[in-house]
Amino acid sequence: MKIEVDGDRLSREIEDLAKISEAEPPVVTRIVFTPADLKARAWMKARCETAGLVIREDTIGNTFARWLGSDTSAPIVGTGSHIDAIPNAGRFDGVVGVLGGLEAIRALQRAGFHPKHSIELLIFTSEEPTRFGIGCLGSRLLSGTLSADDATKLTDKNGASVDEVRKQAGFTGELRDAKLPPNYYKAFVELHIEQGPILERERVPLGIVERIAAPASLMITIEGSGGHAGGVLMPDRKDALCAAAELILALEQAARRRGAVDTVATVGICDVFPGAINSIPARVRLGVDVRDTNLSRRDEVLRALEQACRATSNKRQIVVHSELLNADAPAESSPEVVAALRQACEKHTYNFLPMTSRAYHDSLFMSRIAPIAMLFIPCLNGYSHRPDEYASPEDIARGTVVLAETLASLAE
Ligand code: GLV
Ligand code: MN
Ligand code: MN
């Protein structure tokens, strides 16, 4: 069987999807359940229908587009990713795995392949944590990693709950029904840009992901005392932002002190209230992200941060409250799915590197219910989560061919 990917069409589709954005090109912003997200979903579904796929949406909006196999009772071979995008994002994060997954299916159809196991393209809801504070909302729910009750408690910054917002978007029914039955998937493979510099630096076109790092995130609220920036004397101040600055640097130090490249910590949110130049910061919220491939090392950083919160609170007589949003275990890829990816690379004599994913992906949660692996392609300078994110059409097409070969070998 000769598999040929239509790289030109795939590149055009990536460009077209990028135009469905809340921001001006080249910036892509597509926050879950906003008009841009809903428009992008409709656009994707139309493409899946044209390819003859049978579409189903669950109660959180995860979209399943199935190419029926000859044995419809056999477990399914899944692929896919996400099309939501953080504020000020690029065109390729998630999208390569969704449109590449669709093109892999179309390429197999054109090659005359007849799968035994159905092949399903999955478009996950809210891989990005922007709106509801935790990432991978859809895959957490369908894998049973997050209960419907806990999901319902999540709210966005306007206080709207997941439940309200998903229903407004047209996804009704019981949230708990999003959980998939056991043994639904035979295997799940996700194609994604690397979001790091290694493949480009090593001049290797493909990466086979063997493990995904363990992410954790917290929201820290610091309650100080506000007041007039001129009138309140320094000894009398309880400046919440000064306390926050201490915590940010303590976190950086805690991560650096582990001495491992895989330990990373970021404060990506710093909301200052009331946010006026002549007003002492009364309250600060810090959004903290800590990750490591090694769970105990990741947790050491979390403990060091807790300790810093207590120390700063005591020293400054200020209230520091920390809420753990998620602390997930890492994932290991399945040797069988990794072997299928390796064989596909070898068949085409493509070089590949075994890799660790330091970014999280829906595959992290798919690993709780299915054998998984991921395929990475290079991205320019390792840039991601920024508008100049770029993957070349050649690299995308190469990844799509390998994905198609892998899906075929898993589904026959
Ligand atoms: C996914 O977008 C991540 O933050 O790793
Ligand atoms: Mn992302
Ligand atoms: Mn992604």
DSSP 179: S
Rounded mean pLDDT, 238-242 = 98
Residue 277 structure tokens? 């130049």
Protein residue closest via CA to atom 2 of ligand 1:
128
For residue 161, report the distance from its CA to the centre of ligand 1, in Å: 22
Mutational pocket test of ligand 1: of 374, 385, 386, 389, the residue with most ligand atoms within 8 Å of the beta carbon: 385
Q: What is the pLDDT of residues 128-176, one digit of tens each?
A: 999 999 999 999 999 999 999 999 999 999 999 999 999 999 999 999 9
Say yes or no: 209 and 259 in one domain: no
Say yes or no: 262 and 351 in one domain: no
Q: What is the pLDDT of residues 68-77, one digit of tens each?
A: 999 999 999 9
For residue 358, report the distance from its CA to the centre of ligand 1, in Å: 9
Residue percentage of the chain with pLDDT more than 70? 100
Is 301 inside a domain boundary? yes
Residues 6 or more apart whose CB falls under 8 angstroms from that of 128 comprise 31, 32, 82, 84, 85, 86, 135
Query: Looking at ligand 1, which atom is closest to the CA of residue 128?
Result: 2
Residue percentage of the chain with pLDDT more than 90? 100
> What is residue 52's predicted lDDT score, i.e. its pLDDT?
98
Is 17 inside a domain boundary? yes
For residue 93, report the distance from its CA to the centre of ligand 3, in Å: 5
Say yes or no: 158 and 77 in one domain: yes
Residue 50 — φ and ψ, nearest 5°? -60, -30
Residue 377 — very low, low, confident or very high, per pLDDT cuts 50/70/90? very high
Say yes or no: 280 and 336 in one domain: no
Secondary element (H or E) of residue 29: strand 28-30
For residue 134, report the distance from its CA to the centre of ligand 2, in Å: 12
Query: How far is Cα 259 from Cα 264, in angstroms, rounded to an integer?
Result: 10
> What is residue 104's predicted lDDT score, i.e. its pLDDT?
99
Residue 265 lies in domain: 215-327
Is 225 inside a domain boundary? yes
Average pLDDT for the chain: 98
Give the number of whichever ligand sits closest to the CA of residue 96: 3
Q: Which stretches within 133-288 are classed as H helix?
A: 137-142, 148-152, 162-168, 198-202, 240-257
Rounded mean pLDDT, 226-251 = 98
Q: Helices H, strands E: what count in the chain?
A: 12, 17
* Closest to 163 (Cα-Cα) out of 33, 30, 324, 31: 33
> What is residue 395's predicted lDDT score, i.e. its pLDDT?
98
Say yes or no: 270 and 342 in one domain: no
> What is residue 101's predicted lDDT score, i.e. its pLDDT?
99
Residue 411 — very low, low, confident or very high, per pLDDT cuts 50/70/90? very high
Is 273 inside a domain boundary? yes
Residue 270 — φ and ψ, nearest 5°? -140, 95
> What is residue 249's predicted lDDT score, i.e. its pLDDT?
98
CATH number (domain holding residue 234) = 3.30.70.360
Domain boundary, last residue among 278, 311, 327 = 327
Say yes or no: 44 and 190 in one domain: yes
> What is residue 386's predicted lDDT score, i.e. its pLDDT?
97
Domain boundary, last residue among 327, 356, 390 = 327
Say yes or no: 12 and 112 in one domain: yes
Answer for the pair 284, 273: CB distance below 8 angstroms, yes or no: yes
Say yes or no: 126 and 100 in one domain: yes
Say yes or no: 258 and 405 in one domain: no
> What is residue 84's predicted lDDT score, i.e. its pLDDT?
98
Is 258 inside a domain boundary? yes
Q: What is the pLDDT of residues 177-236, one digit of tens each?
A: 999 999 999 999 999 999 999 999 999 999 999 999 999 999 999 999 999 999 999 999
Q: How many domains does the chain have?
A: 2
Say yes or no: 283 and 342 in one domain: no
Q: Give pTM, 2 decimals.
A: 0.94
Say yes or no: 279 and 296 in one domain: yes
> What is residue 53's predicted lDDT score, i.e. its pLDDT?
98
DSSP 276: -
Say yes or no: 112 and 82 in one domain: yes
> What is residue 293's predicted lDDT score, i.e. its pLDDT?
95
Domain boundary, last residue among 271, 297, 327 = 327
Query: How far is Cα 81 from Cα 390, in angstroms, rounded to an integer?
Result: 17
> What is residue 233's predicted lDDT score, i.e. its pLDDT?
98
Mutational pocket test of ligand 1: of 88, 128, 376, 384, the residue with most ligand atoms within 8 Å of the beta carbon: 128
Q: What is the pLDDT of residues 38-67, one digit of tens each?
A: 999 999 999 999 999 999 999 999 999 999
Binding-site residues, ligand 1, Cβ < 6 A: 128, 135, 359-360
For residue 228, report the distance from its CA to the centre of ligand 1, in Å: 39
Query: Looking at ligand 1, which atom is closest to the CA of residue 358?
Result: 5
Is 203 inside a domain boundary? yes
Give the number of whichever ligand sits closest to the CA of residue 192: 3
Is 1 inside a domain boundary? no
Query: How far is Cα 200 from Cα 86, in angstroms, rounded to an integer?
Result: 24
Rg (CA), the chain: 22
CATH number (domain holding residue 397) = 3.40.630.10
Which residue type occupies 132? F
> What is residue 321's predicted lDDT score, i.e. its pLDDT?
98
Is 379 inside a domain boundary? yes
> What is residue 246's predicted lDDT score, i.e. its pLDDT?
98
